[in-house]
Amino acid sequence: MSNREKDYYHALYDIAHTINSSLDLPEVLQRVAKITAEHMHAKACSIRLLSRDRKRLVFGAAYGLSEQYLRKGDVEVDKSGVDRQVLRGNTVIIPDATEDERFQYPEWAKLEGIRSVLVVPLATRGQIIGVMRVYTAERREFSDEEIEFLSLIADLAALAIDNARLYQVLKGDYEMLLSYQERLFDD
């Protein structure tokens, strides 16, 4: 097993452990973003989730990006050619985000020191629910192994998101049932 394979194995172990140890979705996604950036030797990683109206990608978690960059706003799907491609199920590699017309905020990428970006879909149960991005400060050609690794992490993150949403639904149903029982027996 090569050093890279060992590194990826440890990252997958850490992410699986993180997902199984907490139902606090923001905390889980934040940890997944950090582990991903560190093990891919990248500047940063972000996770954005598709809004209910499917028009925007809203912040889910990020590691390695400045507050100023994160406050630039939601990604509007209609204005981001990159994300339209990814939301169709494709992986997108951007060699230079400051010059790629598909990238919605190239001026912000330049200010943040972002050069190359790898973007994969977050998919669960046949539906794409968001995107996961890895950013580098230098121009980088992403290998097939890196693309496969990020896609696997995105699948795990999507599973965590799906589980957290199902948990919230069940919790809400349970609380509604308890409330109904209390009213029933109070009358």
pLDDT tens digits, residue range 61-108? 999 999 999 998 888 999 999 999 999 999 999 999 989 888 888 899
The whole-angstrom distance between residue 177's C-alpha and the CA centroid of its chain comes to 33
Per-residue pLDDT band at 164 (split at 50, 70, 90): confident
Token pair of 39 as six digits = 């093990």
pLDDT tens digits, residue range 113-124? 999 999 999 999
State residue 185's pLDDT score.
78
Is the pLDDT confidence value at 172 over 80? yes
C-alpha–C-alpha distance, residues 111 and 65, integer Å: 11
The conformation of residue 72, written as its DSSP 8-state character, comes to T
- Among candidates 98, 131, 100, 92, which has minimal Cα distance to 113? 98
**Is-contact 54 82, C-beta < 8 A?**
no
State residue 128's pLDDT score.
96
Q: Give, in degrees to the nearest 5, the angle at Cα 160 between 158 and 161.
A: 65
Around Cβ 140, how many Cβ atoms within 10 Å? 20
56-63 and 75-76 strand pairing: antiparallel
**Mean pLDDT value of segment 34-53:** 96
Is the pLDDT confidence value at 38 over 90? yes
